[in-house]
Amino acid sequence: MKKYVILLISTALVITCVFTGANLFAPPVTEVTIYSAQVSEVENTVKCSGKIEETNKKDVFLDTPVVASDVKVAVGDTVTEGQPLFYVDQQATFTLLSYSSSMGLSQDVLGSLGASGSSLPSSSTKQQGSMVESVDDIPGVVKAPISGTVTNINVSQSGLTTPGTAVVTISDLGSLQVKVSINEGKIGDVAVGQPVSITGTAFKDHTYTGTIQKIFPAARQQLSGAAYETVVDAIVSIDGADEYLKPNYNVEASITTSQLSQSILVPYEAVRQDEEGNEYVYVYSMAQAHRVDVTTGRELTDGVEITGGLKAGDKIILNPDDVTGHGVRVKLANGVDADA
């Protein structure tokens, strides 16, 4: 009897050692986190970038250089249409223009001198070949052509204006728009009237809405990194523009072109690609990781669109780099059986 008891105890010890050894030398089970694939309504969007600009802006140019005698405005000043921007020293201007004509100087050369002309010989009569007939031909004051804010000024007290350069720029800062550049491969999806979401680094806490108002009729070349790309410009209105927006701010725009109702989205980190270029994910099922090849669609803000290979409810493993291969044992990080 004692012999049978000893044999039974020995057998139990051997079985215990076998199972204990198996557990000791078995590879560790990988912990995984999962995401349950869902069918979502997805917006089809076109991403592009651009700058904020004034809807109404006026650059003031003069036919001839003039000597300013009294500058009345500075950058940032608000002006009304017809308000004097600066006065002109008519006599100094006439003397300068007459002298330059007699010396055969062009307006470009005259403008490069950058002086008031006070050191030049005075003259009250027209010189041979003068640019103007008399002092009265020279405007005594330059006025604002529109109401708005002075955003640039290129004239100084007793200074000579430069030909071909705007002496003053006036902008209506209460009426802003965005000019965006759309890649030629995406322009076919864009149409006037489509809604736009507008964001920017300078106003990162604010998102504005707008609408495509105009699409330019011709494409152009634009430098992108080290190469050129072909783009088409478009104008976007801004709803509720406020003090956070300023001309020439860089913006990112998302144009909503359509809505899709039956799209499965998967987080970017779940999708992998093998050496042959096949895209795949790992799906959790019965405590195992199963590789499933997928077909991807558009890259969206919330993830990548899956057009084939998955169905709603599939449990996608979000840390696939920790999975050693198809069919390996895994467990959920939170210890809950997802198949229960």
| pLDDT tens readout for residues 99-151 | 766 555 455 545 554 444 444 444 434 344 445 667 878 889 999 999 999 99
Out of 95-99, 214-218, 234-238, least confident range: 95-99
Mean pLDDT throughout 18-41? 71
DSSP 198-266: EE-GGGTT--EEEEEEEEEEEEEEEEETTEEEEEEEEEEE-TT--TT--TT-EEEEEEEEEEEEEEEEE
Distance set, CA 13 to CA 18, 20, 26, 73, 95 (Å): 9, 10, 20, 100, 119
Amino acid at 271: V
pLDDT on residue 122:
41
Confidence of residue 29 (pLDDT cuts 50, 70, 90): confident
- Residues pairing with 177 in the sheet: 53, 237
DSSP 143-167: E-SSSEEEEEE---TTPBPPTTS-S
What residue ranges define each of the domains in the chain, with the CATH number in brackets?
A: 30-43+262-332 (2.40.420.20), 45-55+175-259 (2.40.30.170), 58-171 (2.40.50.100)
pLDDT on residue 143:
95
Mean pLDDT throughout 87-102? 82
Helix, strand, coil tally for the chain in percent (to 5)? 15, 40, 40
Confidence of residue 2 (pLDDT cuts 50, 70, 90): low
| Residue 186 predicted with pLDDT over 50 | yes
DSSP 270-313: G-EE-TTS-EEEEEEETTEEEEEE-EEEEEETTEEEEEES--TT
Q: How far apart are CA 227 and CA 201, in angstroms?
A: 25
Q: How far apart are CA 25 and CA 27, in angstroms?
A: 6
Q: How far apart are CA 249 and CA 177, in angstroms?
A: 11
More confident residue, 120 or 181: 181
Distance spanning both ends of the chain, measured CA to CA: 47
Is residue 247 a contact partner of residue 151, using CB atoms and an 8 Å limit? Answer: yes
Q: Which residues does 287 contact at the CB level (< 8 Å), separation at least 6?
A: 329, 330, 331, 337, 339
pLDDT on residue 338:
44
Confidence of residue 251 (pLDDT cuts 50, 70, 90): very high
pLDDT on residue 252:
96
Of the candidates 57, 252, 91, 166, the residue with the CA atom closest to the CA atom of residue 99: 91
pLDDT on residue 117:
41
Instruction: Tell me the pLDDT of the chain averaged across its residues.
Output: 83
pTM of the model: 0.58
Amino acid at 208: Y
Distance set, CA 329 to CA 30, 60, 233, 284, 288 (Å): 7, 75, 54, 10, 4
| pLDDT tens readout for residues 47-79 | 999 999 999 999 999 988 899 999 999 999 999
| pLDDT tens readout for residues 149-178 | 999 999 998 888 888 899 999 998 888 999
276: number of CA atoms within 13 Å, CB side? 3
